[in-house]
Amino acid sequence: MFTGLVEEVGTVAAHTGARLRITAGKVLADAGVGDSIAVDGCCLTLVAMGQRWWEADLSDETLRRTTLGMLAPGDPVNLERPLRLADRLGGHLVQGHVDAVGDVLAPPPTLGVRLPGHLARYVVEKGAVAVDGVSLTVVEATDDAFTVAIVPHTAAATTLGSKRPGHQVNLEVDLVAKYVERLVAAR
């Protein structure tokens, strides 16, 4: 479980087949093989590490459902370690299970994103959404898109400040909304 508060922006060092190598510092401070790290909102398992780098394997599901398969050496990525029970929850509950890829329609500071129609029911005004792993509050929601306000700190501390129309982003909608829908449907 993550908070959607990016700890650092790392860099893709290599992408060979289904193996991804990322350079980083802060997220490796207390990490070990088998630990989870979110990369652009996708929970990955650390399988190898060294001085300021770590590697993860990308499953077929990850390659199908996220932007991680399109990453190339030099690309920046948002990184976050998992939440610990003693930590403050400053963002919202983010699983690191990307629901789909969205298309950027408008650049920051009012980032517009088109999302697949089947996810629109989970995105509501003033609700939470994770975009490339960043916890954000929805400003406006329509049947196929939403906007979020990107404040200067978020633009500078994440990759979202450089997003432009045509870029693709990983989306994770509110987990609670999905559970509520499932429970109500069962009645």
**75 and 122 share a domain?**
no
pLDDT (0 to 100) of residue 187: 78
**117 and 158 share a domain?**
yes
**138 and 75 share a domain?**
no
Dump pLDDT digits (tens) for 119-163: 999 999 999 999 999 999 999 999 999 999 999 999 999 999 999
Chain centroid, CA 73 distance in Å: 19
**126 and 181 share a domain?**
yes
Task: Using a pLDDT cut of 70, give the percent of the chain over it.
Answer: 100
Dump pLDDT digits (tens) for 66-82: 999 999 999 999 999 99
Q: Are 156 and 78 in contact (CB under 8 A)?
A: no
Report the CATH number that the domain containing residue 118 is assigned in CATH: 2.40.30.20
Domain membership of residue 50 (yes or no) is: yes
Q: Are 69 and 59 in contact (CB under 8 A)?
A: no
Q: How many CB atoms lie within 10 A of CB 113?
A: 24
pLDDT (0 to 100) of residue 91: 78
Domain membership of residue 134 (yes or no) is: yes
Q: Please state the domain count of the chain.
A: 2
Chain centroid, CA 75 distance in Å: 15
Domain membership of residue 58 (yes or no) is: yes
**116 and 164 share a domain?**
yes
pLDDT (0 to 100) of residue 86: 81
pLDDT (0 to 100) of residue 161: 98
Dump pLDDT digits (tens) for 25-53: 999 999 999 999 999 999 999 999 999 99
**107 and 176 share a domain?**
yes
Dump pLDDT digits (tens) for 82-104: 998 888 778 788 999 999 999 99
Q: Pick from 27, 52, 80: which residue ends a domain?
A: 80
Question: Would you place residue 186 in the very low, low, confident or very high pLDDT band (cuts 50, 70, 90)?
Answer: confident
Containing structural domain, residue 108: 100-185
Cα 113-70-74 angle, rounded to 5 deg: 100
pLDDT (0 to 100) of residue 22: 98
**71 and 109 share a domain?**
no
pLDDT (0 to 100) of residue 115: 98
**107 and 57 share a domain?**
no
Q: What is the mean pLDDT of residues 104-124?
A: 97
Q: What is the mean pLDDT of residues 8-24?
A: 97
**Tokens describing residue 175:** 């987990």
pLDDT (0 to 100) of residue 99: 97
pLDDT (0 to 100) of residue 84: 84
**123 and 164 share a domain?**
yes
Say how far apart CA 29 and CA 52 lie, in whole Å. Answer: 9
